[in-house]
Structure 1
Amino acid sequence: MTGEDVTPAIGIDLGIRRSCMAVCRHQDKVEIFINEGGYKTTASYVAFTPTECLTGDDAYDHYTTNLFPANTVYEVQRLIGRRFNDPEVQKLIKRCSFKVIKGTYGLPKVVVEYKGKQKEYSAEEISSMHLVHLKNLEESYLGTTVKDVVITVPPYFNDSQRQATKVAAHLAGLDVLQIIDKPIAAAIAYGLHKKTTETNVLIFDLDDVAFDVSIVTTDEKGRLTVKATGGDTHFGGKEIVDIMVDHIVKEFNKKHQMEMDITENSRTLRRLKDSVQWAMQDLISNSETTISIDSSYNAIDFSTSITRDKFEDITNSFFSKCIETLASFLQDAKIYNTDVDHIVLVGVFTRIPKVQQLLREFFNVNELLKSINVIEVVAHGAAIHAANLIHKKREKAKTLPIVPLLQTVTLSIGVDAHDGVFSVIIPRNTPIPTTNEKIYFTTIDNQRSIPFNVYQGERSRAKDNKWLGEFEVAVSPAPKGKSKVTVAFSVDADGTLNCKIKELTTGLKKEFIINHNKEKISHEVIKKMVKDAEKYKMEDKEYIKIMHARNVLKEYIYNVQRRMKTIGSTDKTRLHAKEIKKMETAIKAANQYIDKNQELADVDEYKKVQDQLEKLCVDIIAQLV
């Protein structure tokens, strides 16, 4: 697919607990990356110590020693692209060992002790640290720089979560060719994207912390689509491990006539879980195994043998739930068992013979697609897709005409008209010379002028950008929104910023120059400003949402106040003075809330204030209708 002399694109299965990477360099022949420990998957953990930041398997090993559990971050995928009050975030907070707080604009922030100081990190920053580690592993394996990647995410990820994943990748120095769903990648791994007939493929994905089932369809053009997705994001192989640990504890207590309290000894619990996982691995290919732990509890050695039949009997409730979840998913998706053409196994726990047996019986089939390692299959498909994309990209580049390089606007230029939001007039990378304009309105009644501050940068909040200058435009006094001005910015070949203003009510014009290159911004500063914009992309996005909710509330208050002014003497007699007072008090409280909170409130909090105000005002004003 790609040549030896060309830097290949990489497929990354960015897992909740472990990640896997692959490269496709020769006609769909995929290589899975091996990390420094010799493993084909790498722990999605980041740990902070008094001296360094650990990532990958080193971070996981550090976590299991229980030295600083509060400073080890995991399952960051459950945080990324979400708000603090999201139920998924709250679930993670209740059971995780690290601290999560409500950060700016209601986004979650991870708090850790690092090098003797308390630090706060966004989910995107934590994820980028993990991705930097993966990038370094890839480059060490390939002996070349890695930039282009395809990253897989769960099929239920929304746009915000996908965008946040892109932000994390960009912070790690990676260029994302595409974010694709894990089930799509698994289907590609088996060449199902090459089919020219309509096909339904069930992707059965069971790992240690989540259980996802999806139906992927193919059409006559080979297009893959996730038709339906379901499962349980908080049910996985860890449940079966817990069942086995409970069984072993009971067996130990019965044999030694004592109460083993593993809740007080995390080291013993970790050793028990590790032993169970090794035993389960052994039972995949053997009918019997032994679980042995030296000095398991109170210096007592423990050993017990277990057959595959006994294991399946002990954990029967786990297998029953898997099939019940699958059946419920198919029913909700209105898909019959006979509609499924292929079943693809994904995730380490689909290797268990009982899982495979139940799937064969449920669908009445003999074959399951499992020839590709179930732990590697998603990364495998992502690598093939990455190779296809990079091939198309290079073929397209060959057909494009050579265009001379043009000088461009290095950073976006715009204004803060009134609400703190950066209103871009000339976007970054616009070829110069260029001209663009926008219309701005008055925001209060009888406003006599509109002040403008000019900024340059990529952040959504004006004050986070570089201030270039200011100007003020006189306008005719009129009701809010009636007077308006056109602000036209043009940048000439010398990089000089010219401002032309026209007051549309009177037709009066004003013109001046802001030489925004008088303090030339260095290339390094520009790169930092662009990187900061990417780093804080999610915060900026939330800021825009919050300011919109705030402005909507202000607009509603304004409209209610205008309505109250139009209530005539007859209307007033119909409205009890007490009711009018209620409205005035509610409006005053809403205004005070706006003044107090400014940018600190959540979108939901602004909406709550507006909903309460609307309910009161609508009920009272309705009496006049």
Structure 2
Amino acid sequence: MLKGTAVDIDIGTTYSCVGVFQHGKVEIIANDQGNRTTPSYVAFTDTERLIGDATKNQVAMNPTNTPDVKYWPFMVVNDAGRPKVQVEYKGETKSFYPEEVPSMVLTKIKEIAEAYLGNTATKYARTIAGLNVLRIISEPTAAATAYSLDKKVGAERKVLTFDLRGGTFDVPILTIEDGIFEVKSTAGDTHLGGEDFDNRIKHKKDISENKRAVRCLHTAYEHAKRTLSSSIQASIGIDSLYEGINFYMSSACARFEELNADLFHSTLDPIEKALQDAKLDKSKIHDIVLFGGSTHIPKIQKLLQDFINGKELNKSINPDEALAYGAAVQAAILSGDKSENVQELLLLDVSPLSLGIETAVWQPAWCAYSQVCEGERATTKDNNLLGKCELTGIPPAPCGVPQIEVTFDIDANGILNVSSVDKSTGKENKITITNDKGHLSKEDIECMVQEKLQGKINDEDKQKILAKCNKTINWLDKNQTVEKEEFEHQQEELEKVCNSIITNAGGMPGGMPGGFPDGGAPPSDGASSGPTIEEVD
């Protein structure tokens, strides 16, 4: 069981949310502005780095230095074949890996959770932000958990979850019975979301090269879109938008729906695919649950309701908070919460794409070579190659005689383990597929964590460490012949000062890197408040 409190984070393309399961119920944690969702925005200025609401408020004034994953008003540079975001920060040109920007958002969310919970031992989510990973759960998992806890499902129910967010769209179909969730199918579009609706606004002039104008218009239109979700008219007014032109428009709900008609209707295609994959008729669906901020749009709701033969939509959970709500329950389960509400919940997930193999036995070495692929095409060469598993020492046999048994095992974190066994000899080989191509290595992540740590230790603390180091060095110079215990005592005293400062800065306490007997980091007992370094998928 974990020590401390486990929280969850739903980090979205446009907004993020954090929740915690306490006293038998989920609490969505508000940020320092009182908002229950925080913009997934980061900005870099001449003096500081801004995250969340403060960033979005200044985005039109500082568009180039505000990375926004879906709509790119910033430079992307090639660094040894890998993309990096380039911005101006404190008077210098700095570049960051894509993984670093969301880690900054996570750092902000971590601070929000700590302020609410009143402790710094909170354990959750991602490594670069200085966090311990309990589990990365899929959106269907969170969706099913939120629905089940809200409805107290007993008898079997088939549930279609419609998750339309700022930049992505997912449609999982699940069956839920007595606390057991089984994902039957999932479909969607990773390039469709609320920001695509925002980008449909047009004017007589092409302003795409003016980043300030683009961001200013984009922000104004997002506000108008939200207004149109609850009223029939919205106005936009921007002074000196572009080349001295003042931009004013009044948009009716009907006009907004006309501009996005094709995008709205395209949300029905993944629903049909999900139903087909689950081998279900839409009449068999018991409930349709809405997730994601874009499901507030009335036209989206009407299209969905008409498609499912007029069935009422489930709106009992706030779509903006629903995934965080469900993930908070999963965090409680993982941390050993004994509340009756979270007992006996079990999720059986599904792989979004079909998995397959192609096996061949090669002479004269007599080795079996299995290629693991994912995709929906008929032949392996047309699908995505995930990895290769090789078996050697297979006895000679005619073509078609060797029997190779291949087993796929997907763990709770979505990691695929493949084992291959020759049934005649019992020889076995296993591989783990993590899809780390183009991602950060363990060394990259460790480097980023240390860079983040160095930036957080203030000058006063640096002086404390330096003074203690100098004092220890002076002692060593004068005490070369003392007993080993004396050396170890000095080492402990130095580590006590350094680790206290490092821990408060969000780093990883441990033994000294060298210079003392047995100077490596001590074994972990699982209670360290520093991050656990793992390969990122």
Confirm or deny a common fold (TM above 0.5).
Answer: yes
- Which string of whole-angstrom CA distances, capped at 9 and with x for unpartnered residues, describes residues 105-161 of structure 1? x76555555455565544444433322221111112332224233x5xxxxxxxxxx
Aligned to 1:239: 196
Aligned to 1:205: 163
Aligned to 1:8: 5
**Shift of residue 72 of structure 1?**
4.1
C-alpha contact 1:206 1:349 (8 A) present in aligned 2 = yes
Aligned to 1:20: 17
SS in 2 for 1:382: helix
Aligned to 1:318: 263
**Shift of residue 361 of structure 1?**
0.9
**Partners of 2:195 and 2:529 in 1: how far apart?**
38
Within 5 Å, which residues of 2 pair with 1:566-605? none
Using CA pairs below 8 Å that are at least 6 residues apart, which structure has the higher relative contact order?
A: 2
**Partners of 2:184 and 2:82 in 1: how far apart?**
31
**Partners of 2:517 and 2:89 in 1: how far apart?**
36
Aligned to 1:143: 118
Q: Tell whether 2:236 aligns with 1:291.
A: yes
- AA matched with 1:32: I
SS in 1 for 2:30: coil
**Partners of 1:112 and 1:521 in 2: how far apart?**
43
**Partners of 2:191 and 2:128 in 1: how far apart?**
29
C-alpha contact 2:59 2:215 (8 A) present in aligned 1 = no
- Which string of whole-angstrom CA distances, capped at 9 and with x for unpartnered residues, describes residues 313-354 of structure 1? 332222221223422443344332123221111111101111
**Partners of 1:121 and 1:314 in 2: how far apart?**
36
C-alpha contact 2:74 2:85 (8 A) present in aligned 1 = no
**Shift of residue 233 of structure 1?**
0.5
Aligned to 2:207: 262
SS in 2 for 1:128: helix
Q: Which of 313, 336, 358 lines up with 2:303 in the alignment?
A: 358
**Shift of residue 63 of structure 1?**
4.4
The verdict on how the C-alpha distance between 1:337 and 1:303 changes in structure 2, with shifts beyond 3 A counting, is same
Aligned to 2:399: none
**Partners of 1:535 and 1:18 in 2: how far apart?**
26
**Partners of 1:126 and 1:524 in 2: how far apart?**
29
**Partners of 2:315 and 2:322 in 1: how far apart?**
9
**Partners of 1:200 and 1:394 in 2: how far apart?**
26
**Partners of 1:349 and 1:333 in 2: how far apart?**
25
**Shift of residue 394 of structure 1?**
11
SS in 1 for 2:335: helix
**Partners of 2:210 and 2:320 in 1: how far apart?**
31
C-alpha contact 1:8 1:25 (8 A) present in aligned 2 = no
The structure with more radius of gyration: 1
SS in 2 for 1:148: coil
Aligned to 1:605: none
The verdict on how the C-alpha distance between 1:101 and 1:531 changes in structure 2, with shifts beyond 3 A counting, is farther
C-alpha contact 1:9 1:146 (8 A) present in aligned 2 = no
**Partners of 1:376 and 1:11 in 2: how far apart?**
12
The verdict on how the C-alpha distance between 1:111 and 1:299 changes in structure 2, with shifts beyond 3 A counting, is closer
**Partners of 1:355 and 1:333 in 2: how far apart?**
23
The verdict on how the C-alpha distance between 1:25 and 1:298 changes in structure 2, with shifts beyond 3 A counting, is same
**Shift of residue 21 of structure 1?**
0.7
Aligned to 1:342: 287
**Partners of 1:101 and 1:534 in 2: how far apart?**
29
SS in 1 for 2:256: helix
Q: How many residues end up aligned between the 2 structures?
A: 366
The verdict on how the C-alpha distance between 1:128 and 1:318 changes in structure 2, with shifts beyond 3 A counting, is closer
SS in 1 for 2:315: coil
**Partners of 2:219 and 2:514 in 1: how far apart?**
62
Q: Tell whether 2:32 aligns with 1:36.
A: yes
**Partners of 2:247 and 2:83 in 1: how far apart?**
43
Within 5 Å, which residues of 2 pair with 1:187-198? 187-191=144-148, 194-198=152-156
Q: Which of 216, 228, 244 lines up with 2:185 in the alignment?
A: 228
**Shift of residue 100 of structure 1?**
4.6
Q: Tell whether 2:138 aligns with 1:181.
A: yes
**Shift of residue 522 of structure 1?**
4.1
**Partners of 1:122 and 1:226 in 2: how far apart?**
33
Aligned to 2:407: none
**Shift of residue 297 of structure 1?**
4.5
- AA matched with 1:53: R
Runs of 4+ residues over 6 Å off in structure 1: 458-461, 523-527, 530-533
The verdict on how the C-alpha distance between 1:111 and 1:308 changes in structure 2, with shifts beyond 3 A counting, is closer
Aligned to 1:131: 106
- What is the TM-score normalised by the length of structure 1? 0.51
Q: Tell whether 2:175 aligns with 1:217.
A: yes
SS in 1 for 2:199: helix
C-alpha contact 1:22 1:31 (8 A) present in aligned 2 = yes
- AA matched with 1:235: L
**Partners of 1:38 and 1:114 in 2: how far apart?**
28
C-alpha contact 1:185 1:381 (8 A) present in aligned 2 = yes
The verdict on how the C-alpha distance between 1:121 and 1:215 changes in structure 2, with shifts beyond 3 A counting, is same
- AA matched with 1:215: I
Aligned to 2:50: 54
**Partners of 1:172 and 1:308 in 2: how far apart?**
41
**Higher share of residues assigned helix:** 1
**Shift of residue 380 of structure 1?**
1.1
**Shift of residue 35 of structure 1?**
1.7
**Partners of 1:142 and 1:531 in 2: how far apart?**
15
Aligned to 1:571: none
C-alpha contact 2:130 2:530 (8 A) present in aligned 1 = no
SS in 1 for 2:212: helix
- AA matched with 1:373: N
Q: Which of 308, 312, 315 lines up with 2:253 in the alignment?
A: 308
Aligned to 1:273: 218
C-alpha contact 1:202 1:343 (8 A) present in aligned 2 = yes
C-alpha contact 2:514 2:520 (8 A) present in aligned 1 = no
C-alpha contact 1:283 1:308 (8 A) present in aligned 2 = yes
- Which string of whole-angstrom CA distances, capped at 9 and with x for unpartnered residues, describes residues 484-533 of structure 1? xxxxxxxxxx9xxxxxxxxxxxxxxxxxxxxx999435466989xx9999
Aligned to 1:99: 76
The verdict on how the C-alpha distance between 1:56 and 1:533 changes in structure 2, with shifts beyond 3 A counting, is closer
**Partners of 1:21 and 1:294 in 2: how far apart?**
36
SS in 2 for 1:8: coil
**Partners of 1:48 and 1:65 in 2: how far apart?**
12
Q: Which moved more, 1:45-54 or 1:371-380?
A: 45-54
**Partners of 1:272 and 1:109 in 2: how far apart?**
26
- What is the TM-score normalised by the length of structure 2? 0.59
**Partners of 2:255 and 2:95 in 1: how far apart?**
47
Structure 2 unaligned blocks of 5 or more: 341-440, 448-484, 486-512
Aligned to 1:372: 317
**Partners of 2:20 and 2:142 in 1: how far apart?**
13
C-alpha contact 2:132 2:531 (8 A) present in aligned 1 = no
C-alpha contact 2:291 2:322 (8 A) present in aligned 1 = yes
**Partners of 1:368 and 1:207 in 2: how far apart?**
17
